[in-house]
Chains A and B, each alone.
Chain A
Amino acid sequence: MRFAAKKVYSRIPLPVRPGTCTLQVRDLGVTLEEDTILHDVTFQLNCREIVALIGPNGAGKSSLFRSVLGQIPYEGSIQFMLAGGHPSRPRIGYVPQSPSFDRGYPISVLDFFAAAISRWPVFLPVPRDLRERVVECLSRVHGQGLLDKRIGALSGGELQRVLLALALEPIPQILILDEPLSGVDVGGEHLLLEMLDEIRQKYDLSILFSTHDFSTLRHYADKVILLQQTILKQGAPKEVLGSPEFQSVFHLNLGDEEGGGKA
């Protein structure tokens, strides 16, 4: 926990840089077997922005991600613009919702990583240069020490960091994380969010993540999107969390200033 000593809520204010890259989603609709999963979803994700996607289960968060990733058919348009305004195909790093790994599987972080980023068949001992490359990738999430651990022995936060490091190889322009905070304890949560903050500044990328944990949003998200089949409300965290739409979707009355805890 090397970050625990640091002040947890510190954040460097972002310089406003007009004209940088954007992801523009317009009138997005997804229909699956005649069920409307998403309709009329329009939002923009700017470079270096952290946007949190919230909504109840079945609101269409994963479908939104999969549309952006190009894994499912959709209506409407999803366009990525480079800094000069040129449309381009974005490089997207994706951190899927972390599954429960079989704890007994003898696969090390090195094996897992090497299998994903190289052609070297990992049932053979991993050669030194590949090992060094994996160390370099892991160091982006301060995870060098996890190299020889078994995947099944990692904590929730450690696993998320490994998956994050994997999504950062190669460095993407957009980073998408599906429920990165589920299964992560409070200390791990802040560590992870600090890391996302650091990453978007260092690599100049935008981050879109879904979460059920509203307590951290005010400190780490630039924008919050409340989704339930369509966008009910989007804007600054304070604005969205204090809105009547938010309260009616989650059937709660948030009395406290901090914006509530886990839903």
Chain B
Amino acid sequence: MSFWYWLVSFLPFEWAAPGTMLFMKNALLGVLVITPLFGLLSTMVVESRMAFFSDALGHSAFTGMAIGALCGLSQPVWAAVVFAVVIAFLFTLVRQKTRMASDTAISVFSSAAVALGIFLSTLGGQSFTKFNTLLIGDILSVAPREIGLLAVILVLLVVLWATSFNSMMLSSVHQALADSRGIRVVWKSFLFTAAIAVVVTVTMSWVGLLVINALLVLPGAAARNIARNLSQYHLIAILGGLVCGVGGLLLSYYVGASAGASITLLLAVWFFVTLLLRGKQ
């Protein structure tokens, strides 16, 4: 981390001065790690029509957090990660068995998970206030250890992408063709879903449950408006996420608003810009 702090000290911002505002520097590094992560995930989320599904995963992550807190864990985030991975596994199973992204079924899962989370966290007359940070997100809470975890996930995801992207893409665009070429993606799509679950769970407390799904959808949705092939698609999704992520963080610092909301707003603006650009083509 000290190398990072040293590196940041060259930036022309008042908070970049050595020895001050470490939380801001952590947050910046966090954003630099999570936006490529979200960018990579978002193209697949958009193409596999999993936007709603990933939203539901985010909701179950909250429930996992509540369960962890109830069990008296000091780090409920780990319980949430485990819970979200289990839910991700069940979802993948249901998706494979029924071969459809039934929005009704997802909605049932999702609302049941949220209800359970609220039920558990308010059990015995507890106040819900302590969970507010999960809903809105607090960029101050970025810890170097979590950044390390996400960096590891980013590396793992790149490996998964390098080895499995082709087969996952083929089965999402053309199931019959993938079948005839003997492509099976059950485990790969589980790993993909689990990656979403872990990323959402860990970053939820920074970005906020209410807007986190935007990060999983908007970079891909914006990039697909202007990209002409898959490499452009990924490049634009990652760069768009990166620029809006850093921009949103700076914006939130200077105006004093939630970073998650600021990033999401910039991404939404970016999405509409690409929509206009597409219209011109």
Contact = CB atoms under 8 A, between A and B. Distances in A.
A107 B44 CA distance: 12
A217 interface: no
Contacts of B233: 106-107, 123
A57 interface: no
Interface string A99-112: 10110111110111
Contact of B230 (A99, A118, A122): A122
B224 A101 contact: no
A17 interface: no
A40 B217 CA distance: 52
Nearest to A118: B166
A204 B205 CA distance: 63
Nearest to B158: A121
A106 B230 contact: yes
Contacts of B228: 106, 108, 148, 150
B190 interface: no
A5 B147 CA distance: 64
Contact of B166 (A119, A125, A148): A119
Interface residues of A, number: 34
A224 to B, nearest CB: 24
A106 B227 contact: yes
26 contacts: A71-B180, A94-B180, A96-B174, A97-B176, A99-B176, A101-B173, A102-B173, A104-B224, A104-B225, A105-B173, A106-B229, A106-B230, A106-B232, A106-B233, A107-B173, A107-B233, A108-B228, A112-B170, A121-B165, A122-B231, A123-B233, A124-B231, A124-B234, A125-B231, A150-B228, A151-B173
Given A115-B166, A115-B170, A105 B224 contact: yes
Given A106-B233, A111-B230, A69 B224 contact: no
**SS class, residues of chain B in contact with chain A:** helix
Interface in A108-153: 108, 110-112, 114-116, 118-126, 148, 150-151
A150 B225 CA distance: 13
A112 B170 CA distance: 7
A174 interface: no
A222 B14 CA distance: 81
Interface of B: 43, 47, 161-163, 165-167, 169-170, 173-174, 176-177, 179-181, 223-225, 227-234
B229 A111 contact: yes
A163 interface: yes
Interface of A: 69, 71, 94, 96-97, 99, 101-102, 104-108, 110-112, 114-116, 118-126, 148, 150-151, 163, 166, 178
Contacts of A96: 174, 176-177, 180
A169 B126 CA distance: 64
A71 B179 contact: yes
Contacts of B163: 121
A123 B161 contact: yes
B128 to A, nearest CB: 40
